Chains A and B, each alone.
Chain A
Amino acid sequence: MDTLTGWGRLPEPGREVLDEDFETLTRGAVLSRGLGRSYGDSSLPAHASDRIANSRFANRILAFDPATGILRAEAGLTLVDLVRLMLPRGWFPPVVPGTKFVTLGGMVASDVHGKNHHREGCFGAHVRALRVRLADDRIVECSRESDADLFDGVIGGMGLLGHILEVEFTMHRVPSPWIWMERERVPDIQTFLGKIATAAPQWPMTMGWIDCVKRGRGMGRGLLMAGRWATVEEAPARYPGSPREMTMPVPLPNWALNRTTTGLFNAGIYWGHVRNRASGTMAPDRFFFPLDAILEWNRAYGPRGFTQYQCVVPRAAGPVAVREFMERLTALGAASPLCVIKDCGPEGRGVLSFPMEGTSIAVDMPVSADIQRVVDGLNEFIISVGGRVYLTKDRFTRAEHFRAMEPRLPMFQALRAKWDPAGRLRSAQSRRLFGDKA
């Protein structure tokens, strides 16, 4: 039986079709996907017989205007390709997520955010126009001026309003191909939140890694990273070399990442940086996409697969809510080798887009018999503080929890009713969370 998986490696029965002619390929398809980097079931079929169109072979750049930075490309163009081509020419995408193995279509459907969210918002904020194949097979070009409701719904809409065929957005000029970075060791979560808030107005890019295995006084200790593009004077004369890539050769056994090894790994990262503070130039690949250096790192979790829980705790709930979240996480016994924290700016236009003003926290967790209880526990807390989860990472949220945390859902469903009245477009995730038929 053929199966498809997301990055979390939990399979669903189904097949995808691929072709350079993505426009024709999407005719009659109920969902499209790119590199399959969403962690959960966003890009997986609701039913084994559903036709899923893969955009990977549709990766042509259709226009680029060096006077304005406006670039238009087919949805399957990858961020790897884009950065490889454009950074040497002094251009970088306005927003990039934590991996470069994503397609433009996926970046729009997930309305990805990055280290500069507090300044630049999500990727969708920089999109000028989208060419979309609708459920009834019509093709429309939408933008803020034309069919704006569709445009806003497709951004962050997880592919449920139509197939994204082409994306037009504005690239940013960068002064050099290097990043100037500062890194600081922070002893606990309270200090962390204070420092990341202070850094935000000074630095266009910030993010933090925290140790979420450590309990007690040092809970939430971690490393805060801030960066900006290096000036010509600061930057080394040479172009940053391609990152050394390793491939995780085989899936590790399930027991390889456990509470003990995870704790050691976290302590290692924390103490591995000798000085409390460091600064200097850094290759953008290492700054933006550190995990991409290990290809197929998802195999580290073994055959059981893994999930990422990413939520945002609204600013209004205060720093105490973030601390409570960490306490809840350790109390539930979730050991995560990686916990990434980022302060988000205001909510964007995407109807179902994830970020809102507050603190985003992302933790990786192996799938275990306990996973549903952990996710339920975290979701109950997130609902109580008015936050929400990121669909692109989600596999285990319950429909009733999602409804409770997402007051925008009725508006999104109304858009689906308008643009897909027959209810044809669907995913395994929309079946699970939005009540779509199997």
Chain B
Amino acid sequence: MKAVVFGGTAGIGRAVAQKLAARGDAVFLLGRDEASLTRSAADLTARHPQQAGVEWALCDMESPAGFAAALDAADAALAGVDAVIVTAAMFATQAELEADVELTRRLTTANFANTVTFCEHVRKRLLARGGGWLTVVSSVAGDRGRKPVAIYGASKAGLSTYLEALDHKFREAGLWVLCVKPGFVKTAMTANLKAPPFAGEPDAVARDIVSAMDAKRPLIYTPGIWRLVMLVIKHLPRFVMRKIGF
């Protein structure tokens, strides 16, 4: 694969970039912090000597005006991209979002409208050259309206719906859309939250993502146990959901 990882400097994105680089795929990083991109590119190059020198470009999920240029840079560096992995997103707790309407606007815009916009750029490019992989990290939080993730979950629900339809519509044309629904993963994003049972490690989640891409699957829950957890939660009646805090 010739893969672009948007959000590849931290958390799940960093782990995915490592997995791909380790098996010899060419990797290009997108992110919003120049210092961090430089370090992550150096790290991938030092860890995997078969990587000729990992390159990067600035790209911010809150600045859609830069999406096309960033993808152009990746295309030029990799001489044609065939996989794009999006892990970049905003996160805030429900309490923070309820206290700050502007933060709510920013988060829902970045996680839904801008992510879809970015994916549309990718879709057009990949289809123009006969297809490829578009892998996007959504969340189990989008599977059901729940009190602790009302706003964040809604932004991910919209994204998951878009990704499902994209798969239905373009699979035949060779676009392999993968919607990743991680449960709780122990990253910096969740470091201040109390870890529930079945919390996953970024490395294991990255392994699941890469093998789902290889198998051209449209949807995965990771760690896998979350498929069962969400199956139960999706079928709970409303009066139960209203009572419980989860």
Instruction: Check B42–A20 contact: CB distance below 8 A.
Output: no
> A85 vs B48: C-alpha distance in the bound complex, in angstroms?
8
Within 8 A of A (CB), among B15-54: 33, 36, 39-40, 42-43, 46-47, 49
Within 8 A of A (CB), among B71-111: none
> A61 vs B11: C-alpha distance in the bound complex, in angstroms?
16
Q: In the complex, which of the residues A57, A60, A63, A71 has the most CB atoms of chain B within 10 Å of its own CB atom? A: A60
Asked whether A20 and B188 contact (CB < 8 A) given A60-B40, A60-B42, the answer is yes
Tell yes or no: A62 within 8 A of B by CB: yes
Instruction: Check B43–A60 contact: CB distance below 8 A.
Output: yes
Tell yes or no: B177 within 8 A of A by CB: no
Instruction: Check A62–B191 contact: CB distance below 8 A.
Output: no
> A397 vs B43: C-alpha distance in the bound complex, in angstroms?
41
Asked whether A20 and B191 contact (CB < 8 A) given A60-B39, A61-B47, A63-B42, the answer is no
Residues of B within 8 A of A60 (CB): 39-40, 42-43
Residues of A within 8 A of B114 (CB): none
Of A18, A20, A61, A74, which contacts B9 at CB under 8 A?
A: A20
Within 8 A of B (CB), among A54-107: 57, 60-64, 71, 74, 85, 89
Instruction: Check A17–B39 contact: CB distance below 8 A.
Output: no
Residues of A within 8 A of B33 (CB): 21
Residues of B within 8 A of A71 (CB): 46
Residues of A within 8 A of B191 (CB): 17-19
Instruction: Check A74–B46 contact: CB distance below 8 A.
Output: no
Tell yes or no: B10 within 8 A of A by CB: yes
Instruction: Check A74–B39 contact: CB distance below 8 A.
Output: yes
Asked whether A63 and B188 contact (CB < 8 A) given A20-B14, A20-B36, the answer is no
Residues of A within 8 A of B39 (CB): 60, 62, 74
> A61 vs B187: C-alpha distance in the bound complex, in angstroms?
19
Cβ contacts A30-63/B at 8 Å (1 or 0 each):
0000000000000000000000000001001111
What is the distance, in angstroms, from B6's C-beta to the closest C-beta of chain A? Answer: 16
Q: In the complex, which of the residues B14, B33, B43 has the most CB atoms of chain A within 10 Å of its own CB atom? A: B43
9 A-B pairs with the lowest CB-CB distances in the bound complex, closest first = A60-B43, A61-B46, A18-B191, A20-B10, A19-B188, A64-B46, A60-B39, A61-B43, A62-B42
Known: A60-B40, A62-B39, A71-B46. 10 other contacts (CB 8 A): A17-B191, A17-B192, A20-B188, A57-B10, A60-B43, A61-B43, A62-B43, A63-B42, A64-B46, A74-B39
